[in-house]
């Protein structure tokens, strides 16, 4: 009886520590998870460099530096360009310069003018919110980038040991551990492939919309949109929203509002549909489960939930499958 009490107290103490650890890490989960994702993606490159330089520290520094210069630094001028577009769009909208380009029949109509004023106010509030959110998030983003690189550096060097420790802690036979990890690897690959392909498809669909509605430099903006679609922290709206407002401000109000509706409905939804289909096919998960994982993960974890949500459900299904197989083996 006393031994059982000690066991229960030990389990309760461990659960308490796990909960407190979660509270500590909760604010940095996004950076940690993205570090794990990038470590998984770039481990083959790290292994090749390690085979040449023979030093884990040097190999890890080289890969992290490559990620900074190839992926992170190019985002700075791109975000600056889009930020300038947003500010210019805000100036247009807030000063109501759009009205100057609209036909007098629309402006003079009391009902249409009221709707137009309401649309201008909502657009202004939306743009202000996006700009202010981005500005206030800069310090947090810098901390996340530092933590991302810090964790990534050590995952390259000690990732194998970390996986080995997880295997030791799993309370199942070795064969089940290996099978679980194999299915996890398949799920991770499927999710990452789905995220990339969905971003590319979203960029292509957005580019088609730019051409349809006659946006100047549609090809360049389409390439920019495709690139932003691949970045979870940003998104394609940073291209089609300013472009639609600029079209309206230039007098092309039909094309501008058409692009706005097209971007909000078609472009913004196509990635979730494509992502759920691709992940479901490659990871052998039902598209409905993937969609629930995407939307639920997005709601709970933010943008990183697009990866974490389906992955957690994949873990759950794999665990239930292994439990069923083990129970059947024991019963036989």
Residues 145/71, Cβ–Cβ less than 8 Å: no
Supply the pLDDT for residue 110: 44
pLDDT in tens, the chain (332 residues): 566 677 778 878 888 888 888 888 877 887 888 888 888 888 889 989 999 998 889 999 999 999 888 877 776 666 666 566 655 555 555 544 555 555 554 545 445 556 656 665 666 666 667 666 666 666 777 888 889 899 999 999 888 888 777 777 776 677 777 777 777 777 777 877 887 888 888 888 888 988 888 888 788 888 878 877 776 556 777 788 888 877 777 777 788 888 888 888 888 788 778 877 777 777 777 777 777 887 788 788 777 777 788 888 877 877 777 777 777 766 66
Q: How much is the pTM?
A: 0.65
Residues 234/76, Cβ–Cβ less than 8 Å: no
Residues 239/199, Cβ–Cβ less than 8 Å: no
d(CA 213, CA 217): 12
Supply the pLDDT for residue 65: 92
Name the residue ranges covered by the structural domains of the chain: 25-169, 173-332
**Could you give the C-alpha distances from 3 to 6, 8, 10, 171, 263, in angstroms and in order?**
5, 9, 11, 20, 63
């Amino acid at each position: 009886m006393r031994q059982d009490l000690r066991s229960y107290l030990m389990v309760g103490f461990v659960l308490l520590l796990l909960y407190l650890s979660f509270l500590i890490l909760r604010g940095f989960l996004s950076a940690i998870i993205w570090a794990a994702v990038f470590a998984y993606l770039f481990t083959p490159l790290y292994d090749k460099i390690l085979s040449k330089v023979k030093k884990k520290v040097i190999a890890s520094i080289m890969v992290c530096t490559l990620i900074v210069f190839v992926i992170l630094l190019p985002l700075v001028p791109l975000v600056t360009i889009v930020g300038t577009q947003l500010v210019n769009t805000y100036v247009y909208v807030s000063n109501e310069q759009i009205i100057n380009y609209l036909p007098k029949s629309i402006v003079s109509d009391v009902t249409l003018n009221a709707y137009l004023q309401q649309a201008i106010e909502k657009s202004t509030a939306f743009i202000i919110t996006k700009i202010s959110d981005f500005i206030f998030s800069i310090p947090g983003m810098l901390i996340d980038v530092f933590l991302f690189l810090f964790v990534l550096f050590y995952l390259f060097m000690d990732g194998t040991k970390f996986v080995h420790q997880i295997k030791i802690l799993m309370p199942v036979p070795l064969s089940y551990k290996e099978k679980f990890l194999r299915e996890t690897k398949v799920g991770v690959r499927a999710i990452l492939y789905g995220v990339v392909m969905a971003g590319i498809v979203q960029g292509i669909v957005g580019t088609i919309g730019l051409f349809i509605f006659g946006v100047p430099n549609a090809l360049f903006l389409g390439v920019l949109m495709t690139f932003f679609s691949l970045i979870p922290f940003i998104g394609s709206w940073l291209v089609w929203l300013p472009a639609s407002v600029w079209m309206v401000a230039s007098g092309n109000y039909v094309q501008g509002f058409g692009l706005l509706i097209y971007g909000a409905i078609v472009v913004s939804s196509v990635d979730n549909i494509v992502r759920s289909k691709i992940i479901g096919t490659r990871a052998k998960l039902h598209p409905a489960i993937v969609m629930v994982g995407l939307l639920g993960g997005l709601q709970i974890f933010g943008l990183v939930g697009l990866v974490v949500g389906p992955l957690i459900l994949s873990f759950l299904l794999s665990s239930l499958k292994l439990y069923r197989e083990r129970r059947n083996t024991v019963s036989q």
